Copies of this chain bind each other. A is one copy, B any other.
């Protein structure tokens, strides 16, 4: 039989079985995702009648498209604005959940005597809750608009980002085989740097490009452009040794800032649904029911650990960040399951060949059970929190009340709140600009060799070449550096104003303030220069050339100061415009 026919036959088998099973699951109000997994188990080699998929190779390649489009869609739903709203609570809950669950998962793996890598991957798989399942459960319970649901969605966004970081880390650990804290730190640092730079440049370029293509009013050209950007960025990310999932998520988040967001969502949705079906079915393909019978004890233990661990960590963290007991219980119960990210991490382990065969079906089983439990847990939240309030000793509940009041008191109010908001904003801008500078110098170091080669024709001296590359990088980062300097000046004036009060400094007030306002930027600039030297150590020219380059760049900076300021502020305005723009109405 020719290969194309085998492929059609496989697709027909997948879609027919998935269609029948999901219709049945939908009829009995169970999540579609579970239907796909069951369809996969039926199609797989371990269940009668027989192996119904002939060309697993091609199907697995297609399932990779499922991962890409799933994460691309997740990125489309991501928004920097939503993220800033949930802010502290989201960070705290996500961090608490992920660190506790990672530790619990690792300990369970070690307890059962599994390989270290299995234990690490188990920890990672338990760490993150499932957006798909939660959205589905909440919308079926009609609770999607409630406050705790909005909180859950915010937490999920942060979890997604951390999960993507975890995927990057796991790939590194799995290939190098070791876990050093320094390496973890530098991986996370480089990842954050990459994400900031990609988001800033992406939001500057992509929405404008899409607006241009959107003007043609040709759906087909628009779709191909979106797909070109998506796959192109995934390729770039892959070449930088990050996972395709990360790329798809970031480019999705960038496109989320486009005016054409709803159009993109409408076009991508059917493609995502088609390939995510293939992806979830291939998960089922790998599930061996015999393994489940053999590993019933770990499955049970992990399930209990997931439910208890997530309810406790998420619930407690929500409460500690100042929400009511009822909301906290609802958030904890809502997040008590694992889902698609666990599958992606499991698939990563299989494709890197570092995890054992039993881990995949075990985790799928836990996901299936916790998914089925989710709607019941959410419904259980209110009665349970009432019950807990009833049985709680009065003393304990007054301690809780005290805590809530103290937290309320901690929040800045009035003028202080306004100032702290300004300071946060300035610090954020400084960080973003520094990230851009760092990216320019890292890229300079990366491309120094090939840039040198292309210059070899007219500049033979290697040292001259590196001096030119280094000077070029410095010149490119000048607008950002100048912006950083100006922001820090503003910041130090605010700090001076706040720190030096006339009541205490008396007649010296103005002078001390001035000193502070001058010293902070100067010291910071020296620190930044030191950072640059460290980052660009590979391409740093020798001292005599360095001084020459520095003088030249300083001269340029002096002459074109106003031009650079204007250029930077124009780019910044463009960025904020794109961020503030509302997507077109759905139509």
Contacts and interface: CB of A to CB of B under 8 A. Distances in A.
Contacts of A68: 8
A512 interface: no
Interface string A431-462: 00000000000000000000000000000000
Contact of A8 (B12, B15, B231, B268): B231
A218 interface: yes
B7 A64 contact: yes
A175 to B, nearest CB: 12
Contacts of A221: 19, 22-23, 26, 32
A574 interface: no
A74 to B, nearest CB: 15
B268 A270 contact: yes
28 contacts: A3-B57, A3-B61, A4-B64, A4-B244, A5-B238, A7-B61, A8-B244, A12-B228, A12-B231, A12-B232, A15-B224, A15-B227, A15-B232, A16-B231, A17-B228, A18-B224, A20-B228, A22-B220, A22-B221, A23-B225, A26-B221, A27-B216, A32-B221, A58-B58, A219-B273, A220-B277, A223-B274, A268-B270
A344 to B, nearest CB: 13
Given A3-B61, A9-B235, A223-B274, 19 more contacts: A2-B351, A3-B57, A4-B244, A4-B351, A8-B231, A9-B238, A12-B231, A12-B232, A12-B234, A18-B224, A26-B216, A26-B218, A26-B221, A27-B216, A220-B277, A223-B270, A223-B273, A270-B270, A271-B271
Query: How many copies of this chain does the complex contain?
Result: 2
A230 B60 CA distance: 21
Interface of A: 2-5, 7-9, 11-12, 14-20, 22-23, 26-27, 32, 57-58, 60-61, 64-65, 68, 213, 216, 218-221, 223-225, 227-232, 234-235, 238, 244, 266-271, 273-274, 277, 351
B228 A16 contact: yes
Contact of A64 (B8, B32, B60, B213): B8
Contact of A274 (B32, B57, B227): B227
- Give 5 closest A-B pairs by Cβ, nearest first: A19-B228, A12-B231, A12-B235, A15-B228, A15-B227
Nearest to A275: B271
Contact of A15 (B5, B231, B269): B231
Contacts of A23: 213, 216, 221, 225
A242 to B, nearest CB: 12
Nearest to A236: B12
A227 B13 CA distance: 11
Contacts of A224: 15, 18-19, 22, 273-274, 277
A293 to B, nearest CB: 30
A123 to B, nearest CB: 25
Contacts of A218: 26, 32
A219 B73 CA distance: 15
A228 B12 CA distance: 6
Contacts of A223: 270, 273-274
Nearest to A21: B224
Contacts of A220: 22, 32, 273, 277
A110 B252 CA distance: 55
A143 to B, nearest CB: 18
A403 to B, nearest CB: 44
Given A26-B218, A58-B58, A229 B270 contact: no
Contacts of A266: 266, 270
A142 to B, nearest CB: 14
Contacts of A351: 2, 4
Nearest to A587: B587
A232 B58 contact: no
B19 A235 contact: no
A213 B25 CA distance: 12
